[in-house]
Structure 1
Amino acid sequence: MIWGTKRSGFFGWVRSMAVRFLWKAATFVQRHRTAALATSCTGLLVAKLSHHIFPEQTCKLLHQFWTKGQSVELSERLQDLFHDVLKDAGVASALCYRAFLASGFHPVSAGISWLPSGSLVGIPANFSTAEDRQGIIDHVVMINDKEVDWESKEGHALKDALTFSLEAQKFAISREVMYLQSNSPIIKAAVAPIFLAGTFISAVAIKQHLGLYSSPLALRVVFNLIFAMIGFFCYHCASDSVSRSLDYRADRKAAAISKDYARGGVEFYDKILSRNRILRALMGKQGQRMYAPSGNLFPGSLFGLKHTPYTSRRDLIVNILNMSQELERSD
């Protein structure tokens, strides 16, 4: 009985301290809500942009291609390919863009070109196999803890899906350049602080309009939780919408460079879809959870689509090609 009394006394003290802390925090935010909101939005924006503010320490460190404990530099051919793409894309300040050899199977990018750190584009190692289609077998691909047998039927199909023509490589690199050149990372990162500020300001305005500030604390807490959930849901919907819009814009700009780039874009997405269908079959149940039968990616979480469908991105470029052909016929 004495031990029970001590326990209840201890937890009662913890509960009272927690309530006191929350009350002081709420009071502080109430008094300095403008400064607290500005600080929160700024911190959230910086956190969202950290991957792009320090591309060398984030993107390159994460995606750099290594072999035998050594990082591998870009070959002269891939360097020339990258500079050709920058020239075709009309990049005014080519010195702001740098390339490195990436470990994945399609390009990655990060950075803001007008910052001192510039922008980085990771060119996948399998792009070096454009002339030698057998070169892909030098890469070890593990699926379900087993190395892919390149001589098997699935291995041959996967090798074909991972080998891109020169036009497809140019499109894949150029769409990353276009994505960065349009300040897409900043636009995408700005969605979160905008919705945070909008949710906070809307909640304050509605509470003032309804006179909830004179209501019991419990009612205001419930109102804030409900409003925060609505804001969180709206943020995810808007974030997905903005991400898809930015992806489509980068694809359109890359495909508009020339017909060769557009045809390369169709091939690029066709092969990504083919690769994903092959991986879905090879990976079993895990593959079925990750990839749709079409080759698109399933959502990574309950909230939001997260991935722009590859089928719609391919269809967008097909429509651009068809419109271009129709214009030529009309001329």
Structure 2
Amino acid sequence: MGAQFLRKASVWLTKHKIAVLATSCMGLFGANLSYHVFPEQTFRLLHECWSDGQPAELSQRLCAVFQDVLQDTAVKSTNYRAFAASGFHPVSAGIPWLPAGSLVGIPPNFDSTVGDKRGIVNHVVVINGKAVDWESNEGVALKEALTFSLEAQKFAIAREVVYLQSGSPLASAAVAPTCLAGTYLCGTGIKVALGLYPGPMVLRGICNLIIAAAGLIFYYVSYDAVTYHLDCKADRNAATISKDYARGGVEFYDKILSRNRILRALMGKEGTKMYAPSGNLFPRHWFRIKYTPYTYRRDLILNILRELQA
């Protein structure tokens, strides 16, 4: 009975393979875009910062900074909304021209200044089960790494805005369905070229496994390459707004690297697995570059700053 079901399923898939492929690609694309299409119901709930059992409110100062950034980036302000986010640097989601618009999450440490670090010390940071002592040597260093100038804050927010404005979520979401369709078409072409369709099913099965593995590797490489390109594009667009933004970008990534080096020391063995001595993030798999290196992003903006100053 099971064999009969498999035969029927195989016949049905063969008959409707194009429809199944199209549906699968559309499903992948939709799944990857889901939290960009409905950012309030998905993304915000995941990243929102809470205080005393309630969603934290964004300070008036940060609201004003956010509006300044929207003006500097020349985007339609009604398409973007800011909220207080957890973490240490801004996050974003959404597609500006859709009804739901876009959200930019700004972390509480952005409410701190050189003279007033309440936005940092008023929050508990737990590492290895212990709260960070802000008065210890490591705590003071971490506090300094989490304090950004106004220029660095504006750059960090601007890169999220221009990332969304350029349609980067769409490009990122399109990688998986494109690779799926490409793998199927290449696999079909290879099997036709090798004459495997009239041959034994075992050979076709082995060929399918090899093609699927190659397609998966191609997807990982393509996704990382697209991520790398989109990150650098957002950094470049934000840094070229003005010299102040470029200077802020250099500071922003310098302090991220400093923060990661401090966390590497505080986290012990786990820190050495997560962070490189330079402060970059380690990829999870040997053949992937999952994260655009912060050192490269800093150097990219440093070169832009030199060009602007020339």
Q: Compute the TM-score of the two structures, normalised by the length of structure 1.
A: 0.91
| 2:258 aligned residue | 274
Q: Could you tell me how far apart the structure 1 residues matched to 2:131 and 2:86 are?
A: 16
Aligned match of 1:77: 61
Q: Report what 2:235 is aligned to.
A: 251
Q: Equivalents in 1 of 2:136, 2:116: separation in Å?
A: 16
Residue number in structure 2 paired with 1:123: 106
2:291 counterpart SS class? coil
Corresponding residue of 1:133: 116
Are positions 1:107 and 2:90 aligned together? Answer: yes
Q: Confirm or deny: 8 A CA contact 1:97 1:121 kept in the other structure.
A: yes
Aligned to 1:12: none
**Partner Cα distance (1:247, 1:269) in 2:** 13
What is the rounded CA distance, in whole Å, between the counterparts of 1:142 and 1:23 in structure 2?
56
CA drift at 1:302 = 4.9
Q: What is aligned with 2:290?
A: 306
Distance in 2 (alpha carbons) for counterparts of 1:142 and 1:101: 19
The letter of the residue matching 2:83 is: F
1:172 to 149, 156, 161: 156
Q: Counterpart in 2 of 1:96?
A: 79
- The question of 1:264 aligning with 2:271 is answered no
Distance 2:53 2:5 in 1: 50
C-alpha deviations, 1:255-289, integer Å up to 9, x for none? 00000000000000000000000000000000000
Is residue 307 of structure 2 the alignment partner of residue 323 of structure 1?
A: yes
Matches within 5 A, 1:3-42: 17=2, 19-42=3-26
* Cα distance between partner residues in 1 of 2:68 and 2:274: 35
Would the aligned equivalents of 2:243 and 2:309 in 1 still touch at CA under 8 Å?
A: no
Q: Give a deviation string over 1:17-48, Cα, whole Å, max 9, x none.
A: 1x444333222111111101100000010011
SS at match of 1:120: strand
Q: Hey, what's the Cα distance between the residues in 2 that align with 1:84 and 1:204?
A: 53
Structure-2-length-normalised TM-score: 0.97
Residue aligned with 2:159, SS:
helix
Shift of 1:131: 5.5
Q: Is the 8 A contact 1:133 1:163 kept in 2?
A: no
Alignment partners' CA distance in 2, 1:311 and 1:22: 52
* Distance in 1 of aligned mates of 2:115 and 2:50: 21
Q: Which stretch of the first structure deviates more once superposed, 224-233 or 298-307?
A: 298-307
Alignment: residue pair count: 309
Among candidates 189, 201, 204, match of residue 185 of structure 2: 201
More deviation, 100-109/23-32: 23-32
User: How far did residue 73 of structure 1 move?
Assistant: 1.5
Give the structure with higher Rg (CA): 1
Deviation (angstroms), 1:90: 0.9
Unaligned runs of 5+ in 2: none
Deviates more, 1:59-68 or 1:20-29: 20-29
What is the distance in 1 between the residues matched to 2:293 and 2:228? 9
Contact map agreement 2:253 2:294 (CA 8 A) in 1: yes
User: Which amino acid is 1:191 matched to?
Assistant: V
Shift in alpha-carbon separation, 1:214–1:117, aligned structure 2, 3 A: same
1:217 paired residue number: 201
Query: Which segment is superposed worse, 55-64 or 241-250?
Result: 55-64
Deviates more, 1:25-34 or 1:231-240: 25-34
CA-to-aligned-CA distance 1:223-266 (integer Å, 9 cap, x gap): 00100100110111111011000000000000000000000000
Measured in 2, the distance between the counterparts of 1:284 and 1:304 equals 24
Residue type of the alignment partner of 1:218: V
RMSD after superposition: 1.2
Partner SS for 1:133: coil
**Structure 2 counterpart SS, 1:110:** strand
Deviation, structure 1 residue 132: 3.9
Q: Which amino acid aligns with 2:225?
A: S
Distance (whole Å) between structure 1 residues aligned to residue 114 and residue 296 of structure 2? 29
Distance 2:217 2:44 in 1: 32
Q: Distance in 1 between matches of 2:235 and 2:212?
A: 34
Q: Give the whole-Å Cα distance in 1 for the aligned partners of 2:129 and 2:204.
A: 52
From 121, 129, 137, give the equivalent of 1:153: 137
The gaps in structure 1 that reach 5 residues or longer are 1-15, 327-331
Q: What's the CA shift for 1:303?
A: 5.3
Deviations 1:29-69 (A, max 9, x none): 11111101100000010011112111112211011110111
Q: Which residue of 2 aligns with 1:240?
A: 224
Of 235-244 and 132-141, deviating more is 132-141
